[in-house]
Amino acid sequence: MCAASFSTATGPCRQGQIAAVLPKTGDRVKIKPYVSEATNTFYNLMFCDDADLLAKHAKGVAPALKPLVDRFDEKKVRAIAESPETHPRYRALAGNQLAAAKRKSSPEVTVCGVVAEVPMEGGQDVFAVFTDGSIRYINSEGKVAFSDGIVPPLVAATSRVMKAAVLFAAKSGPRTTDRPAPSPGQARITCLVSDGSHVTHGPMEALMADTFAAPLLKACGELLKTFADLSLDQRVLLEMEREKQ
C-alpha cells in the first residue's frame, strides 16, 4: 500500500459544451491505435505524458506549462505538480515527469484524472475524465466526442469516478517507464496523479474481479453512458436549431 495521502484536484472551470471534433492535423506520435492520425493525437493527449504535444494543442501556452516544456527543473516541476490552482492536466504531466526522473513525490498527492481503455470488437473504447469536469472519448470505430469544463448533469457521476480513483491510486505506485501501446484484447486503467501515472492492465474479467479496479471501471461506464446520452441530446438540439435557420 502506498503511504501517501490522496485527494482529487478541483478548480475554476468553464461551462462545458459537448462536441465531436478532432485536432485539425495529426502529429508524429509513437502510439497509434487508430487509423486516423488526428484521432491518434487526440488519444495520446489524454495521458498527459508528452509536454510538447500538450503545448502544441493548448489554447495558448499557460505559464504553468512552460517549465514542463523546458529543460527539466525539479523544483519548478514539483511546484506545478503540487499546486492546487494549476490545471489538472498540467499537474498530471508534472507528476509524470517527476516519476520518469525517479524523484520522490510529496507525502500528499492528488488524483487529476482517469483514462480507461476497454477492448471491443474491432478495436477499443477509450474514455478519459479529468477533475475539472473535462471528458474525452474515442469509440472502437475511432469516432470521438468531448466536453470541456463542468457540465451539470455529469457532476455527480464524475464525482463517483474520482472517489473510486482515489482508492485505486492509493493501492499502487507511479509508473517510471514510458507508456506502452495498449495490448490487444486487454483492458487498462491509467490513473493520472500528481506523482505520476498509476496503471493496471489485464483481461477485462480480471479487472472486473479486482477490488479497486472494478468500482472504478463501473463508475467510468456509468459516466460514459450519461455523457453519451447527453451528447446525443445536444446533437439533436443542434440539428433542430439548424432546421429553424
Domains of the chain, by residue range, sit at 17-244
| Torsion sign (Cα): 39, 44, 48, 51 | negative
Q: Exposure of 201 by Cβ count < 10 A (0-12 exposed, 13-18 middle, 19+ buried)?
A: middle
Model pLDDT for residues 34-76, shown as the tens digit of each residue: 988 989 999 999 999 999 888 888 765 567 688 898 889 999 9
* Cα 128 → chain centroid: 4
Model pLDDT for residues 126-171, shown as the tens digit of each residue: 999 999 999 999 999 898 888 888 888 899 999 999 999 999 999 8
